């Protein structure tokens, strides 16, 4: 697994090497374990609204890099 970014020194955004389609990332930490689809930005799982806004903003700004990372591990 590759940690791509940390939020609030508690949560990690990860791309997992041995994972399943569709292209997605995981936000984990504390009691949060959320899967976020890189195409639609739909979140499976819940997180506080303020954190959700921060995470989706960061993913949107870095989506191309995340997609490249996903494709590197899932040819």
Which of 4, 10, 2 shows the shortest CA–CA distance to 73?
A: 2
> Looking at residue 2, what is its pLDDT?
85
Predicted confidence (pLDDT) per residue in 29-57, tens digit: 999 999 999 999 999 999 999 999 999 99
Can you give the pTM of this predicted structure? 0.92
The ranges assigned to domains in the chain are 2-73
Arithmetic mean of pLDDT over the chain: 95
Q: Which helix (H) or strand (E) holds 14?
A: strand 11-15
What is the pLDDT, as a whole number, of residue 42?
97
């Amino acid at each position: 697994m590759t940690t791509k970014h940390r939020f609030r020194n508690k949560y990690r955004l990860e791309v997992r090497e041995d994972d399943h389609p569709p292209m997605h990332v995981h936000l984990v930490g504390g009691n949060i374990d959320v899967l976020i689809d890189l195409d639609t930005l739909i979140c499976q799982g819940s997180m506080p609204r303020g954190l959700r806004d921060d995470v989706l903003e960061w993913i949107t700004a870095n989506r191309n890099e995340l997609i490249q990372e996903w494709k590197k591990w899932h040819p």
